[in-house]
Structure 1
Amino acid sequence: MFFDATTGTWPVHPNDIWALSRELTSSSEYGVLDAADGYLLLKRGLTATDIPTAFYDFARVADPQPQYSVKVEFGDELRLIGYDVLDDRAGKKHQSGCTGKPSARLSVSCASTPSLSTSKGRWSKTPSSGPC
């Protein structure tokens, strides 16, 4: 079974995809064959359940330079280090699939992997019924 965390999963929420992959590996029916750059490959009959750190490479940024720096700690594990404002009222389409809406790109740092920062996430400023 193959999972791709690098693209949109609409209409299925990414948390549901993650939960399914974890459910499959914890059931002992599937195990991790390989994982890198946001791709996860499970195989029936394997026992490995740990996701290799290379899976998260797609979200790593060597030197994050957000437009607006902030320091917000979420416990000991997660830190918001900044954000960028993306103004797309001209109708251009973002990688997130959002069109014509102001949105934000967040940069975070994880304590367990200090160099892990992501600028992949985009959240719409206003509620919508679509994938944004």
Structure 2
Amino acid sequence: MKLNVIYGFLFCLFVEGLFSCSKDKTTEPLPCEANALFETEIKPIFLNNCTSCHNSNINYAGVVLEDYESIVDNIDHSMSEINAGTMPYDEDFTPAINSSLIDVLNDTLIDKIECWILNGMENN
């Protein structure tokens, strides 16, 4: 009887071990360039893809993305919209560019911005 209890206990431990060891999804860090240059790499992404709507004249949704200060001030919201692949859409306002950032910014550009953020958003 004791042997059956021991085998039963060991079997339960074995089964528990099988199902408790799941492979956790881990995100590998982005292969970031050490020094993404704001003026020559990051700012042009925003100027070419965002400022047709988010400039000091149009100021769509109260967001301006023309210079270092305004980009840094709005980076959390901007990255949230970029990663979601959406922009706020208002039927009374038709953006001069595509209404979806996912069509405008490819993964390489998004990764470059994220690496710049991870490296401290230097103004260089």
Q: TM-score range by the shorter chain?
A: under 0.3
Structure showing the higher helix proportion among its residues: 2
TM-score, normalization by structure 2: 0.23
Structure showing the higher strand proportion among its residues: 1
Higher radius of gyration, 1 or 2:
2
Relative contact order, CA 8 A, sep 6+: which one is greater? 2
